[in-house]
Every structure is written in structure tokens, then in C-alpha cells.
Amino acid sequence: MKNIDSFGHVRGESLFVDDINTNHGTLYGLAFDSPKAHGIIKNVDYSKAKNLNGVIKIFTYKDILGENQIGGIIPDEPLWAENEVHFIGQPIAFIVAESEAIAKKARALITIKIEEKPVITTAKEAKEKGEFINAPRSFKLGDTTTSFKNCEYVIEGETFSNGQEHLYLETQGCYAIPMENGNIKITSSTQGPTSVQKTVAKVLGIAMHKIEVDVIRLGGGFGGKEDQATPWAVMAAVAVQYLKKPVKYILSRQDDLRMTGKRHPYESTFKIGISKDLKIQAYEVEFLQNSGAAADLSPAIAERTLFHATNSYFIPNVTTTVHSCRTNLPPNTAFRGFGGPQGMFVIEAAIAQVAEKLGIDKKIIQEVNLLHENDEFSYGQIATQVEIKNSWTSAKNKFNLDKLESEITHFNNSNTQFKKGISLMPITFGISFTNTPMNHARALVHIYQDGSVGISTGAVEMGQSVNTKMLQIASQTLGIASSKVKLETTNTTRVANTSPTAASATADLNGKAVLQACNTLIERLTNVAATMLSIDKSAVSFKNETVFINGEKSNLNWEKVVEQAMLERVSLTENAHYTTPIIHFDKTKEKGHPFAYHVYGTAITIVTLDCLRGTYETDAVKIIHDFGNSMNIGIDKGQVEGGLVQGIGWMTLEEISYNNEGKLLSNALSTYKVPDVFSAPKSIEIIPLETTGTKMAILKSKAVGEPPLMYGIGAYFAIQNAIKKFNPNYNLKFNAPFTPEKVLIGLYEK
Ligand code: MTE
Ligand code: LUZ
Ligand code: MOS
């Protein structure tokens, strides 16, 4: 089944926040933000802006009736700066005007005096100065200190991976309208409707039930709207509370790039020890996470880095530590993979470094260290239903790795200007919010009296097609056509207290709730049908909108049963609640069983370098991916392709750049390059791994949103491999992204 939005998207009919019809008298908001990365606000002169015709009011922290606080995990972030600013782009005030153009004009008339303080832009600097978001976290398995002494080879190194801009097509935005009795309805482009509702209530100083948040769909989120869709909605709501007029605020692309956080850059140091038989015995790593100026989701992201620090390998002795370092950049935030990719890049670098030292192929070390059934992760979970070796071997066999390698060797021997490189990239990604209490969801299902169905869940549609999956579950369970099922908007009044749409777990959590609700409804209708037919209910089933008796078609159809249920006053509405069983995690011990299951896979990446120019192309990526038993292979393959290309972008082209004053230099699409159709792999082949799936996944169809991003790490090592073919003197560096500039330097390094 196709994504149910595809028709509307192609025709340009799908609604996003900016497409909603505005009410009469709607006003337009615009944040005024700090031009300096760190300092004391000495004076802000709003007088000229206030006097501009069409400016209604300029809001500052003084206008807040509740708390000036939007921090989710740690209360360390004001909505509007009070006396100090901590990053360029930090909101200080909110201009509300009759039009966007007037608000913009007014913003240019505001002058500000800031007494500047020292600016920190890198994690290392922050660590040296003792600037941290919170206490470090550390996971331990076995005893690395003793183990290193017994290792044949011990190698140390360092890595850097840069941030990444989400570049959702739809920028951040919201539309807030006053309702009666001080209630406010907000349409927001958010992955976390409940976060918006909760934070608005807190800042306005009113109860959550006075705030209704509605989400139609997002034009992409990628984690960038898990937490950072909130401030704009809160600003608009503060204005609505005061003005009692509708307020709309859609960020321009430039404002969005400047003011919002990105993927966290990481600076890391590792030490790896291996035995004679190439088994990794011990691994120590220290991650310095560049968190930006406030916590946002950084502590949770840091935690996931530790969970994935050993990627797909079993290492008996592990010590991992992460520091969330406070810098004067916009607070960095969730981005597909949520710290996992940053952790995996380091272990892959460590293995590459070891292979280089020993003069052997990296994949040999990767292969002998792959996880086995019942191996223990550093966080105490025992690996079960492990498919990593299976995916690795399948990749080698199904894609005929030997042949690929000999073709590459032949190419490299017969070309001087062009060189090809290859890499294998295994991935193992844990599914569940690592914070156990967040793993819950609800679904509210109505069967209307004409037999059509409406479904509300906590899931936000952001292009990943979660609504299509919800619809499939309902139509399958109720035995009705997909055209009879409608997915409602995500709304806090219909489904409350939701976890954000994140962690790839949305279809599992909300889908299980939909399944449960539909099962309950079908049970009720089974009773009604059994009575109508005077047969035992065990003989009744629903399929193709018809009642079947012991598998035989009857004359009774879906509509008739629904009609009868109404007459018998049987409830046609069900609200179901699902919580993931088994999972738990003890943060005092840093041990537990945090994940419902893991997703596995292996990618083979082949690149060609132009050794004159330093440019490269990805020829092919060949992937064996563990979908479990995919409920929609077209959609799921789309997620793998999209995640892969986004991962390759992070590892190769996308270079976030801030200057020493904390100013974003890559502040437009002319200075920030994302993969386009020319730089995406020329071919992507995806073969599903044949597995039984897991009952923990919805209909045994495994989560697919984030894991494929990490296949992109393979591109880094394929490029490195190709450079070596041209310049054997090249010293391996682990400094992502591998931009053509760095490639060129590597090619000609002595
Ligand atoms: N796919 C599209 N098209 N757009 C997105 O914004 N976000 C990704 C992934 N795939 C995203 C996407 C991220 S970061 C996550 S966590 C998952 O989708 C969330 O959805 P899921 O839980 O339904 O997989
Ligand atoms: N968000 C979150 C996430 O709050 N917790 C998680 O574990 C997570 N994992 C991936 C992406 N977002
Ligand atoms: Mo995804 S980073 O969990 O929104």
C-alpha cells in the first residue's frame, strides 16, 4: 500500500501549518534574537520598533505570567533571555504585528547593547573550562585496565564528527488561536504535541486542559521538532493570552537555520586492545558532546551514545564515558539516530585504526567480533534473536563481495586518476525510548454508525508513513477496506499525555494500541453478529466487510452489524493503552534491559574518487536489512533509502561551520550542502533479511526510522579506503564529514 498522503502531496493539497486558513484579525509573530553568543544584556531599545505602524506589541520575559522556562529534561532554558545571552539566535523578545513584513521591519529597528563575555564553541574547550550540562555518565563491562595489559595490540586515537542540519522542508511554525474562557488552540509542526501543551501551560501559568495542540502532519522532523518546535508555539501562545487574537509564526529558513540546534558534534578519544586472534578484548572511549547552551535533549542523546558505543560487536571489557559540554551554540538536539551514530563512528574508526596498524583488511576484524546470541552489551542486556552475523554473511554472499572486490582491484590497477574504495558497515540499533517510562501510547478508535472508522493516536505523521501503517492495522483487524478508515490529526484533546514521535518506536507503540482497540471492537461486533445469525461467536470472523461463518461467506455485512450494534446500544468506540513489556533500566547501576529488541543489518558501500579534484561519487550501496516481517516493504525500503542518504550526507558533504564568535557560517543552502540527486548513491539495493521478526514489534514488522542512517557511516570508510589506494602514505584521520577538500589534502599528503 502506498503512503496515504502521496495523492495529496503530489497535488499540493496536503495541509501544513502555513496552509491553514487564517481567522479574521490574525497577527504575525517574529522573534528578536541575540546577535552575540555570550554576554550581559545592557540595554535593548525597542522604541523605534514599537512606534512602527502596524506593530501591536513586543513581548519580553516581563510579560510572562507563569514561568520563563522551557527546558524539558533540565530547567535551564528561558523562553526569552532575561539578563544574559548564551548563543547567537537566542530569543530575547517577540514582535507581534499586523503582517510578517511589518514584524520584520520592526525587528531591524531594535538596537541592543551587550557586554560580551568569552565564547566557547567546541566541546574540548568547554571541558577544559569545566562547563558541563550535567554530571558525566559511564557504562562499564568487565575490566578494561586489566584487559589492556593482556592485549597483543593496544591502539589509541581520536575522532571528530560534526553536527548536521535537519533541513526539514517545512520550517518550524505554529498557529495559535484564542478560544472561550482563556483556552487556546495551537496548530503546531511538532513531533511532541504533549511537550508543546505542557510547556505552554507552564509558561502561561495555566492548566494543561486549557491548551489544545493539534498536529496535521509535518514536512519532515528528523528529530529537529522533538523538542525544538516548542518555543515558537509558546511565544505565540503568550501573545494570544495577552492580546486575545490569533497569532501565527512561521520561521523563515534563515531564522530557522540560525536559531535552532542541530545534531551534536562529538570529539572523542578511544583506546582499543585486541588479542592475537583479532578479538577486541578491551575498549575505552571518552565522548565529548557539544551540547550547546542548554540541555534540551542532550542528556538522553548522550545516554544513547553509550548504548551504541560498541555498535554490532561483542567486547568483553568496555568503559565508556560521555560528557555533555556546555558551549555558546544553539542547544543541539535530537537527530535521527539520537547520539547512536556518533558512538558508532568511533568504534568503526578504532577498528579501522587497528586494521591499518596491523596491515590487514578492516572487515576481517569487524567480522570476527560480531555479536553472537547471548552476548552481553555493556549495559547489561543480553543479545537475543541476533541477526548481525546473518546479515553480514548474507551481504557477502548475495552481493558477491569477492567479485565486487576483484572488480575494484582491477579498476584501481588500470586507473591512475580514479580510485575506488569499499567498506562494510554493520549496524545494531536498540528499539525503545531509553527512558523506560516514555514507552507507552494510546489509540482512540471510533466506528461511526455508517461503518466508517476514525482513528486518533499519539503518532505524528512526518513523512515516515506512520499513518499508513496505523490504517493498515485497523483495516486488517476490522476486516474492512482501507477507504473506510480515516487517520485523524494528532490532538492532545483526543489522545493525551503522549510521548513524542521519536526513537523509531512510534509505529510499534501506537500501532499496538490501535491493534488492541480494534481487537476489542471486533470482539463486541462478533457478539452482535453471532446473535444476529443465531450461531456461536467462535464461528464468526470479519473479512472484506462481510461476516464469515467458519470461514464461509454469510449474507451479513459490516454495515448491518454496525447498525445492529447501535440498536443494541453497544459501544462503537474504544480507547486502548499500550506499554512495552519486559524493558527496564537502572540508572544508578547503568544496567538493565532498555530495548524491546534490536534492528540489524549490513551495508556494502562502493565509492569512486576523482584523485585530481578530491571529489567522489557513491557508486552503489548494497544493504541487507532486518525488517523483521515488514508490514509495508515499499514504505520501509523508502525509510532505508532516506536514512542512508541522510547518513552519507552527515559523513561526507554536510559541513556545519561556526566561527570563533559562535556565528553560523553555513547559514544558507549555498554554504551548506546536502546530498542532491547527483551526490546520492547511483544505485541502492536493499534485500530484506529473512527472519521471523519479533513479537515486540507491531505485526512482527520491525522499527525502521532511524537504524538505516548509520549505514551512511560506511561511506566515510569507503572513501578512506580509496584514498589509501592512491596515496599509501596517507595517515588515517577520523574527522567527519569527509568533504572533497579533506579528501584532496589526504590524497596528496606526504
Ligand atoms: N522519515 C521522514 N520522511 N521524515 C522524517 O522526519 N524522521 C525520522 C524517521 N524517518 C523522519 C523519517 C526519525 S528521526 C524518526 S525517530 C522516525 O522516523 C520516527 O518515526 P517512527 O517512529 O514512526 O519510525
Ligand atoms: N528520544 C528520546 C529519542 O527521548 N529518547 C530516546 O531514546 C530516543 N531515541 C531515539 C530518538 N529519539
Ligand atoms: Mo527521531 S531523532 O527519534 O525524532
Ligand 3 atom closest to the CA of 501, numbered from 1? 4
Q: Hey, which of 189, 490, 504 would you mutate to test ligand 1's pocket, going by the most ligand atoms within 8 Å of its Cβ? A: 504
Question: Is the minimum distance from the CB of 733 to ligand 2 under 6 angstroms?
Answer: no
Nearest to 309 by CA among 321, 324, 325: 321
- Tell me the CA distances in angstroms from 472 to 225, 295, 487, 587, one per residue in order: 26, 38, 11, 37
CA 583 remoteness from chain centre: 21
- Residue having the nearest C-alpha atom to atom 4 of ligand 3: 223
- Tell me the CA distances in angstroms from 714 to 73, 585, 605, one per residue in order: 33, 31, 6
133 residue type, one letter:
I
Q: How far does residue 323's CA lie from ligand 1's centre (Å)?
A: 27
Phi, psi (5° rounding) for residue 55? -85, 125
- Note the pLDDT of residue 572: 98
Q: Hey, which of 706, 709, 710 would you mutate to test ligand 3's pocket, going by the most ligand atoms within 8 Å of its Cβ? A: 706
- Note the pLDDT of residue 536: 98
Answer whether 196's CB lies under 8 Å from 233's CB.
Answer: yes
Q: Rounded to whole angstroms, how far apart are CA atoms 293 and 71?
A: 11
Q: For residue 555, what is its C-alpha cell?
A: 449474507
Q: Closest ligand to 467 CA? A: 1
Q: Rounded to whole angstroms, how far apart are CA atoms 207 and 368?
A: 57
Ligand 2 atom closest to the CA of 300, numbered from 1? 5
Looking at the DSSP assignment, which residues form a beta bridge with residue 599?
429
> What are the E-state strand segments in 234-335?
247-250, 266-274, 280-292, 317-326
- Note the pLDDT of residue 75: 98
Q: Closest ligand to 223 CA? A: 3
- Note the pLDDT of residue 692: 83
Nearest to 335 by CA among 304, 308, 377, 312: 304
Ligand 3 atom closest to the CA of 222, numbered from 1? 4
- Tell me the CA distances in angstroms from 742 to 163, 269, 648, 676, 735, one per residue in order: 17, 20, 16, 20, 9
Q: Rounded to whole angstroms, how far apart are CA atoms 289 and 327?
A: 10
Q: What is the DSSP letter of 46?
A: -
Q: How far does residue 618's CA lie from ligand 2's centre (Å)?
A: 30
Q: How far does residue 557's CA lie from ligand 2's centre (Å)?
A: 44
- Residue having the nearest C-alpha atom to atom 9 of ligand 2: 503
| Ligand 3 cavity residues, CB under 6 Å | 191, 221, 223, 226, 334-336, 338, 502-503, 706
Nearest to 530 by CA among 540, 545, 541, 519: 540
> What are the E-state strand segments in 293-439?
317-326, 418-431
Q: How far does residue 334's CA lie from ligand 3's centre (Å)?
A: 6
Q: How far does residue 300's CA lie from ligand 2's centre (Å)?
A: 7
Q: Rounded to whole angstroms, how far apart are CA atoms 621 and 716?
A: 13
Among all chains, which residue has been given the C-alpha cell 538596537? 111
Question: Is the minimum distance from the CB of 220 to ligand 1 under 6 angstroms?
Answer: yes
Q: Rounded to whole angstroms, how far apart are CA atoms 371 and 388?
A: 7
Q: Is 706 a catalytic residue?
A: yes
Q: Closest ligand to 504 CA? A: 1
- Note the pLDDT of residue 691: 86
Q: For residue 53, what is its C-alpha cell?
A: 505602524
Spans in the chain with pLDDT lower than 50: none
Ligand 2 atom closest to the CA of 340, numbered from 1? 10
- Note the pLDDT of residue 693: 85
Phi, psi (5° rounding) for residue 109? -90, -5
- Note the pLDDT of residue 440: 98
- Residue having the nearest C-alpha atom to atom 11 of ligand 2: 503
Burial of 493 (0-12, 13-18, 19+ CB in 10 A): middle
Ligand 3 atom closest to the CA of 335, numbered from 1? 2
pLDDT tens string 198-223: 999 999 999 999 999 999 999 999 99
- Note the pLDDT of residue 467: 98
The residue from 348, 706, 741, 749 that is catalytic is 706
Q: How far does residue 706's CA lie from ligand 3's centre (Å)?
A: 7
- Note the pLDDT of residue 5: 97
- Note the pLDDT of residue 690: 81
Q: Closest ligand to 301 CA? A: 2
Q: What is the DSSP letter of 259?
A: H
pLDDT tens string 229-280: 999 999 999 999 999 999 999 999 999 999 999 999 999 999 999 999 999 9
Q: What is the DSSP letter of 252?
A: -
Q: How far does residue 206's CA lie from ligand 2's centre (Å)?
A: 28
Q: For residue 283, what is its C-alpha cell?
A: 575498549
Ligand 3 atom closest to the CA of 338, numbered from 1? 2
Torsion of CA 527, 532, 534, 535, to 10 degrees: -50
Q: How far does residue 464's CA lie from ligand 1's centre (Å)?
A: 5
Answer whether 311's CB lies under 8 Å from 428's CB.
Answer: yes
Q: For residue 635, what is its C-alpha cell?
A: 514504505
Answer whether 290's CB lies under 8 Å from 266's CB.
Answer: yes
